[in-house]
Structure 1
Amino acid sequence: MASLSCASTLPWTPASYPRPSAGRCLTASRRAPSLVIVAQGKVKKYRQVILTDDIEEVGKKGDTLKVRAGFYRNFLLPKGKATLLTPEVLKEMQLEQERIEAEKKRVKEDAQQLARVFETIGAFKLPRKGGKGKQIFGRQVLSWTIHYLFSLVLGYLLQLTHLHLSFQTPLCTHCNL
């Protein structure tokens, strides 16, 4: 086999580019490395994720799902709607769930205590003037009025966001005529 000449080891060059002399010929061992592709194993088709938001027809916040890798990569990850299931994320989600459960338990106990107080006190009467036919016009019975009355009776302030008005009897029966 014939020895490789300098011209056969170099890539094509334009005529204006000077050729190296015979002593400075680049060989295959001195060239820049070519592109090397290394297989990393089989690609995972599915990913275990935890949803960070409610997604219609997929799941609710905190659900653990097995989804396709493309769905996670192209939809869930860019929109920030899910994170990969790792031990750290799983532990964080469990702590968050315990905190939420403790808060629900505290709110339920407060509501039960408030219900016991209302049972012992009885009905509240809030005198307001009514018109013809025992009708109350305008906004004479406001939530802040009832809130203030409850605060006076109970001795401590209620959170106004938890006050929902519902009457067992019509308001006109409570009117002063």
Structure 2
Amino acid sequence: MQFGRLVKVSLATHRVIDAPSKAGYARYAFPAVTRRTRAEYLDEIAVYLGGIAAETEVFNSFGSGAAGPETADLNAVTRLATILESGLGMGHTLTVEDCRPERLEQLRDSNPELRQRIHDVVEREFERAKSIVQRQRAALDQLVEQLMRAKELSGDEVADIVQRHRTSWVSLPKMPGRVGMR
């Protein structure tokens, strides 16, 4: 999965009651992009869903900060999935629609089939994010421990922790049959 370069992750150093989405964040640096593929949009959606996937893995639920303000993760993925499915011709049809936020909201409200396709995209990427979190649970636990102490980690520190906990995936080739041997 490709999605920019992680610059840092940060936790709030104080309790945030009225703005739960401000409890922490990840900052990425992105190259100048002139065009993007469907796969790149799907990767972005999966990254946004990573925090929710981690909360679900650890606590069996996620907090209200995921959907509160306009910039919250679930709002962002809903917008991205709507653009993907209706605004760019990368969805069910090659037809494109106006991508202004109010127009996208109107499309979701008036088109149940589109709303279902958006749901399906978000659900698939959420399952993908959860799968990644489950495979990388040891790295997640160490990241949490280090963030609780330091309150901020650089992208390089995060990459180092993830790399140390990377699990190898080996695919064994099928053994050839014993054709002609008795």
Same fold (TM over 0.5): no
TM superposition score category, shorter chain reference: under 0.3
Normalising by structure 2, what TM-score?
0.25
User: Which structure would you say has the larger RCO, counting Cα contacts within 8 Å and 6 or more residues apart?
Assistant: 2
Structure in which a larger fraction of residues adopt helix: 2
